[in-house]
Homo-oligomer: A and B are copies of this chain.
Amino acid sequence: MGDRSHARSSPQAVNDRRAGREGLTGAEALLETAAGRGVSVCFANPGTTEMPLVTALDRKPGLRAVLGLHENVCTGAADGYARIARRAALTLLHLGPGLANGLANLHNARRAHSPIVNVVGDHASWHLPFDAPLTSDIAALAGTVGTHHEIRDRAAIVATTRRAVDDAHERGGVSTLVVPADFQQQVAQEPPRDERPRPAPARGIDIDAIEQAARRVRDAGSRAVLLIGGDGLSCTGQRAAARIAAATGAVLYSETFPARAERGGGLPPIDRLPYFPEAAVRALGHATAVVLAGAREPIAYFGYEGTPSRLAPQGSVQPLANVGEDVERALVMLAELVGGKDPQRYAGPPTAGLPTAGLPTAEPEPDAVLTGQTVGAALARWLPENAIVSIEGGTCGYPFHTASANAVPHTVLTNTGGAIGQGLPTALGAAIAAPERPVIALQSDGSGLYTAQALWTMARESVDVVVLIAANHAYNVLRTELARHGSAEPGPQATRLTSLGEPAIDWAALARGFGVPASTAATVGELRGAFTTALQARGPHLVQMMM
Contacts and interface: CB of A to CB of B under 8 A. Distances in A.
A449 B453 contact: yes
A485 to B, nearest CB: 4
Contacts of A299: 130-132
A419 interface: yes
Given A144-B140, A456-B503, A417 B512 contact: no
Interface string A44-61: 101111011011011100
Interface stretch (A99-107, A214-222, A226-234): A99-107
11 contacts: A52-B485, A55-B491, A69-B449, A97-B107, A101-B421, A133-B417, A141-B144, A181-B302, A449-B453, A506-B512, A510-B514
Interface string A171-206: 000000000011001000000000000000000000
A360 B508 CA distance: 41
B107 A103 contact: no
A19 to B, nearest CB: 21
Interface in A486-523: 486-487, 490-494, 496-498, 500, 502-515
A531 interface: no
A143 interface: yes
A57 B481 contact: no
A512 B492 CA distance: 26
A284 interface: no
Contacts of A69: 449-450, 500
A512 B507 CA distance: 10
Interface of A: 44, 46-49, 51-52, 54-55, 57-59, 65, 67, 69-70, 72, 96-97, 100-101, 103-104, 107, 111, 123-124, 126-128, 130-134, 136-137, 140-141, 143-145, 181-182, 185, 257, 299-305, 309-310, 416-419, 421, 449-450, 452-453, 456, 459-460, 477-478, 481-482, 484-487, 490-494, 496-498, 500, 502-515
A460 B302 CA distance: 30
Contacts of A55: 482, 485-487, 490-491, 494
Given A54-B482, A97-B417, A136-B145, 9 more contacts: A54-B494, A101-B103, A107-B136, A123-B303, A127-B302, A132-B301, A504-B515, A506-B513, A509-B513
A294 to B, nearest CB: 16
A229 to B, nearest CB: 12
A134 B72 CA distance: 17
Contacts of A65: 493, 496-497
A417 B132 CA distance: 9
A107 B302 CA distance: 29
A126 B46 CA distance: 41
B140 A143 contact: yes
A370 to B, nearest CB: 20
A51 B487 contact: yes
A450 B58 CA distance: 26
| Highest count of chain B CB atoms <10 Å: which of A65, A67, A498 | A67
A506 B40 CA distance: 31
A492 B456 CA distance: 19
Contacts of A127: 300, 302-303, 309
Closest 8 A/B residue pairs (Cβ): A58-B491, A127-B303, A503-B515, A124-B303, A97-B419, A510-B513, A509-B513, A100-B103
A123 B513 contact: no
Nearest to A451: B70
B449 A303 contact: no
Nearest to A510: B513
Given A54-B482, A302-B49, A130 B100 contact: no
Contacts of A104: 97, 100-101
A263 to B, nearest CB: 21
A69 B203 CA distance: 42
A101 B44 CA distance: 18
Given A303-B182, A503-B456, A137 B144 contact: yes
Contacts of A494: 54-55, 57-58
A116 to B, nearest CB: 15
A492 B305 CA distance: 57
B496 A47 contact: no
Contacts of A303: 123-124, 126-128, 132, 181-182
Contacts of A486: 55
Given A130-B309, A491-B58, A485 B301 contact: no
B503 A460 contact: yes
Given A182-B303, A182-B305, A300-B132, A54 B103 contact: no
A111 B453 CA distance: 27
A305 B309 CA distance: 55
Contacts of A133: 111, 257, 301, 416-418
Given A299-B130, A512-B506, A58 B124 contact: no
B481 A51 contact: yes
Given A133-B416, A491-B55, A515-B503, A100 B100 contact: yes
